[in-house]
A and B are shown apart, each in its own frame.
Chain A
Amino acid sequence: MAEQAPLAVFAGSPLLYILIPLLPFLGFLINGLLNRRLSGTVAGLIGSATVLGSFLISLTLFLRFLGNPVPYTVHLFEWINVGSLRIPFSYQIDQLSLIMLLLVTGVGFLIHVYSIGYMHHDANVGKFFSFLNLFVFSMLVLVLGSNYVILFIGWEGVGLCSYLLIGFWNKNHNYNNAAKKAFIINRIGDLGFLLGIFLIYFTFDTVQYGEVFQKASQLQVGAGVVTAITLLLFVGAMGKSAQLPLYTWLPDAMAGPTPVSALIHAATMVTAGIYMVLRSNVLYTLAPDTLNVVAWIGALTALFAATIGLAQNDIKKVLAYSTVSQLGYMFLALGVMGYSSSLFHVLTHAFFKALMFLGAGSVIHAMSNEQDIRRMGGLRKALPITFLTFLIGCIAISGIPPFSGFFSKDEILAHAYEHNKVLWGIGLLTAFLTAFYMFRLLFLTFFGEFRGTEEQKHHLHESPASMTLPLIILAVLAAIGGFMNAPLVLGRGYLADFLAPLFTYSRQINPEAFGGEIDHATEYMLIGLSVAAGVLGIVLAYVLYVAKRTRPVEEEAQRGAFEKLVYHKYYVDELYDALFVKPSMFLSRTLHDFVEKRVVDGAVTGVGRGVMGSSQLLRNLQTGKVETYLLLMVLGIVVVLALNFIRL
């Protein structure tokens, strides 16, 4: 029990702790208030410097924590204190929050620096950086808070910033719709979250993490109330972390500036749901049913989004679906109780996905805002640094050793294999698809002939140092980041050891579900299979898009493509195309056009229509005539009296 002492209170000066979120907030104030008066570069420097400051403080705390790894809370002030409702404003400093701090501030800083170059043409740079700083502030509050209410405040804060930044270029109406959609879908998820918090308060009479988990650990595994709480919390996570069926806002969110996509919609905010589940791992361990739901939704989301990613032609859309898919992976890991593997994947994913988004941004920048990969091609000569770093990102996400994605993905698959072979199968298939579509993207963008206009070709240029430098740093991290937690056969899992105290309660509650170690033969077999899946995907992409120079069909030709399948005779090498590629592309498009647009979006808009319809019906009651109102009121009185006295 001693190592699990979340109730230890930090006694020293809290100044350093206050500064972590306060610095970005100051940046927000300065940039927000002096919006017009600051030049773009100055605004960018202020924004970046504040985040760098937070990063350095976090690093100090982290190193200090390594010396004496005992979790503690930092009490700042009494926040709410009404009757039995007592919620202090305090920080939870432990392994989880420190790692998230480093991630948010570290990657956040790189993306701030990148934005200085990326946004320097924009008229509202000050506004952009103030929103970005506000986002970092909210995200830090989210991970630092020591209870669910602070978590929720941060949760909503990041949602608000996401909303503001998606709609940043609000001249375009579509962008606004995307922002609105993101806002509304997230609210649906938040409802679940909020209800979960009320249920926690009702059950445990507190919302403070330490107290909740201590009380919860006394409960039986499978207790109904915990299942309800965890399911409700998971609904919140589904919204924020874009899981089926609440994921549709994320691809649309790509309407925002690219650094926003990298920071908010890939590296940090969307992992808030995973953070929340990890934070509540005691509760989740108590509810095996919920864990099953989490695992299946994660696995299905991973597969579903990967399939849609196969046929997307917008460079950012491909990355967006890939993000949804990778988030699905993380939830799969949570569902099979691979808690530390999930966090591991959060970290590696943050490296390589931020890298790829920034790379995509660099491409878009060079291509004068062209995002369609059918108009690109052959860019590797013009953009060598972007190409190399992007390549590293692609290798990492495809799970090729020794790049970072390999380690984290392999660990997740190993956990899934132990738990349920079907989930593992889905994961493996997804890994293959991921490698395929990522390299499809890479080949179409950087290889072959240039397919854009002459004007674009003329403009092609490598991005400035402020943009390439973050790319290089992220590429290094994406390449070697995996070694922080090498699989057991290859060495030691430093990260897993470091995180282990977080899961002490969970381990006590349900020791067998944590699983033992797999024997080495099986582990080698799993590694071999997952690498094979990745390699196969890459080879297939190479054959199709480099060797055979297949080009994605244009939009107008889409209908014809399927008819051709029926009317034309195929040569032998096209048979393969017809048997595998076309159907899968067809499936991908069907999923996108039908399942996503009709079923998922349809359900969301259907609810909206239903409400609107009832509203119209209700309006008919309001006839405008006093006579009717008086009559209805008297009827109301009669009904009230009748209902109260009918049984007397």
Chain B
Amino acid sequence: MLSIILLSVSGLANLFLGFNRSNRLILPFVLLVLAAVLGVTVSGIDTHGALAVWNQSPYFTGMLTFDRYAQVFTGVMVLTTLLLLPFSQKYVRDGNANLAEYYSILLFSLVGGIMMVSYNNLLIFFLGVETLSIAMYVLAGSDKSNLRSNEAALKYFLMGSFTTGILLFGIALLYGATGTFDLAQMGNAVRAIPAADAGLRPMMHIGLLLMLIGVGFKISAAPFHFWTPDVYEGTPTLFTGYMSTVVKTAGVAGFFKLLFVAFGGETIEFWLPTLTAMLVLTLFIGNVGAVAQTNAKRMLAYSSISHAGYLLLALVALQSGRLSVNAIFFYSLAYSVATVAAFAVLKLVHDQRERDDYDGLNGLARTNPLLAFVMTVAMLSLAGIPLTGGFFGKFYLFSAAAQEGHIGLVIFAVVMSAVGIFYYLRPIMAMYMKPAAEGSDAPVFVGGFQSAVLVLLVALTVLLGVWPGVVEGMF
């Protein structure tokens, strides 16, 4: 709870810094706030209790709970944001007039993300989703004079608000069938509906499916992924990085909680076939779609779709409990770190070379060996090559699915991850093997602090890949 209060209050305070045009203060202030929130969250994690108790320290008559589950995922999201923001220095340097607003919106959206992992009531979940989404609509269009950014904002907004309608209709039907918005009570009510009930049962089933679709959209699961490539490409790079990490983590963690608490056990049959089909389609479209891309951001968009597919494996295997939760946690962490690294490099390159296709990366290994190395490690981690965090992320996910007997899905996922090699190698090839274009072969400017963060990102990725036990005990 402290994290939500801290973020909201400092978000407001930050706006005042904006009034004073004290741009130089804003970034350090925001980073400090995030560091404080991270400290508060991580120090609050009680690693000795049993596996996440869903009803610990409830707020607002049990609508919000800050159990271990919520705290750990809050930690992942805050850490991701903290690592991502140093790469926004160009906005500061350029004296962007709306700087304070952007940061405040980011902080507010983070509150939405936290609500999505700590909810205990669909109302909070809905508010979290909307807080996060509305903030993202604004950030997608934050480059106001750029038509691509405009287009991204419009597309995201129209499709997003449309899906909000679907999600709400699902919630309304679930409410009609169970008479409650509370997760645990809803689970009991769902189990209490007699199998022969011709009215409530289909209503509940349709409601659940519509919710699956609504949340599936937010985490860009196929066939509701269409917004992802376009919006990712048009959105300013920094916020794309935020979208593909924090939004995804919040979505998947919230989704898992919903299914695990309210629709676990014998009610699994209502959603398992649909989710399995979505998973297969998502993996296929994400991985195969990425192969033909020539724009690094668009490739990462497809890659983000594919990662949603891998994460869905943990949801499909949620009966394995702890194994599954840990898989989501580890994968989100490893994936977020690697994605932040990739987008950080893209952002720095974009700041100088004004392009984000593969050719924009040409010759980076000669001009900026550090950037090229960071990008390489990020790509290898996303591809799931051993010795990087991404490998153990996938390993945990696949183990959980294998444990639950989904061998076919695991085989499919492994084959799809092989396809991943094709496209993750392409930026590496561009950086190491192609010479930079004439005139753009000057080294990309990287600040000292930024270099330090980049090194940290690589170190984290490798650490997670060599010693995954380091974050063990969270679950």
Contact = CB atoms under 8 A, between A and B. Distances in A.
Interface of A: 77-85, 149, 152-153, 155-157, 160, 170, 173, 176, 180, 183-184, 187-188, 191, 194-195, 198-199, 201-202, 608, 611-612, 614-616, 618-619, 621-622, 624, 626, 628-630, 632-633, 635-637, 639-641, 643-645, 648
Contacts of A81: 469, 472
The main secondary structure of chain B at its interface with chain A is helix
Interface residues of B, number: 67
B155 interface: yes
Nearest to A610: B288
Nearest to B433: A176
B411 to A, nearest CB: 6
B421 A615 contact: no
B320 interface: yes
Contacts of A648: 202
B292 A180 contact: no
Interface string B384-401: 011100011001101100
B227 interface: yes
A191 B412 CA distance: 11
Interface in B182-234: 202, 205-206, 209-210, 212-213, 217, 223-224, 226-227, 229-230
Contacts of B288: 611, 614-615, 618
B162 interface: yes
Contacts of B226: 621-622, 628-629, 632-633
Contact of B415 (A153, A191, A618): A191
A84 B320 CA distance: 9
What 4 pairs between A and B have smallest CB-CB spacing? A615-B292, A636-B223, A156-B386, A629-B226
B468 A80 contact: yes
B290 interface: yes
The main secondary structure of chain A at its interface with chain B is helix
A608 B422 contact: yes
B209 A633 contact: no
29 contacts: A78-B469, A79-B468, A82-B322, A82-B472, A85-B396, A156-B391, A157-B386, A170-B432, A187-B421, A188-B418, A191-B414, A191-B415, A195-B411, A201-B403, A608-B422, A612-B291, A616-B292, A618-B285, A622-B226, A626-B159, A628-B226, A630-B159, A633-B163, A636-B213, A636-B223, A639-B223, A640-B213, A644-B209, A645-B206
Q: Which of A160, A628, A637 counts the most chain B CB atoms within 10 A?
A: A637
A648 B197 CA distance: 12
Nearest to B326: A82
Contacts of B417: 191
Contact of B410 (A82, A184, A198): A198
A82 B418 contact: no
Contacts of B230: 622, 624
Given A184-B425, A198-B410, A644-B205, 20 more contacts: A81-B469, A82-B475, A83-B321, A149-B395, A155-B386, A160-B387, A170-B432, A173-B433, A176-B432, A184-B421, A188-B418, A191-B417, A202-B407, A615-B288, A615-B291, A622-B289, A629-B226, A633-B163, A636-B223, A644-B209
Contacts of A630: 158-159, 162
B421 A82 contact: no
Contact of A626 (B158, B385, B386, B418): B158
Contacts of B429: 176, 180
A612 B385 CA distance: 22
B134 interface: no
B384 to A, nearest CB: 9
